[in-house]
Structure 1
């Protein structure tokens, strides 16, 4: 719970900083006497403003992401699942040697192959999924 509380606090602080920056930007624009209208809708205004620098991603770089590897899967009725015992073999829907799916928080981001590094398993990425393919998988 401590990590979650800390993340909530960080999110709240970020929100307050963004709101303060929006208020300061609106006040500054009014003080400068500019004739262009200043948008008041907060973060969306900054994203639309082409003159502003790119978004600062430093705030999200420490957010934890769960990385999982999917070897394959199998559909079976509960009757068969309950009959499994130690040493039982379950046939998966992938062929041997086929790349594994690399998922970040349940979203496919890459494919790769298993490697062994000093008695530990790892994965070598062989393909990074395109942004279009990632968006399609979310639908």
Structure 2
């Protein structure tokens, strides 16, 4: 989107990621019927406990690996060795199903693929509750 007051010669390049984030924020604000998701809110509210706040500040810089999983396929070594450029591998996920978002190999959310200015991104559609995450650990 560009400002309607700008002339064609002075239109600045617009950041498409900022537009996507603004669109998401507008959708979140307009969805007043849905209660706020308290899944990660408790970490920020330390209740005045300075030791806990300091501990949280220390762990915030720990790097984690985020892996979006489109689907999975079990195959034999023979099938793997037969793959070549142009081979098609059928995954267990149905077309249009959400991606599974893993953090350090633990499922924490689901999302959908978005494309912004020829770059892929992920829109988080659901964050698993702590009890759902515990059930996934048992599997």
Q: Secondary structure at the match of 1:98?
A: coil
- 1:30-88 CA-partner distances (Å, limit 9, x unpaired): xxxxxxxxxxxxxxxxxxxxx98272210111110101100001111111110111000
Larger Rg: 1
RMSD across aligned positions (CA): 1.7
Alignment correspondent of 1:9 = none
Question: Which structure carries more helix by proportion?
Answer: 1
Return structure 1 stretches of 4+ with deviation > 3 angstroms: none
Question: Mapping of 1:15-30 within 5 angstroms?
Answer: none
| 1:91 corresponds to 2:87 | no
Structure 2 spans left out of the alignment, 5+ residues: 1-46
Residues of 1 paired with 2:62 and 2:116: CA distance?
A: 26
Q: CA deviation at 1:91?
A: 0.3
1:1-25 superposed Cα distances (whole Å, 9 cap, x missing partner): xxxxxxxxxxxxxxxxxxxxxxxxx
Counterpart for residue 49 of structure 2: 53
State the distance in 2 between where 1:61 and 1:52 align.
18
Structure 1 residue 89: Cα displacement = 0.3
Aligned 1:33-48 pairs, distance under 5 A: none
In the superposition, the TM-score normalised over structure 2's length comes to 0.60
Deviation at 1:119, TM superposition (A): 1.2
**Hey, what does 1:132 align to over in structure 2?**
131
Give the paired residue count.
89
Aligned to 2:7: none
Tell me the TM-score normalized by structure 1: 0.60
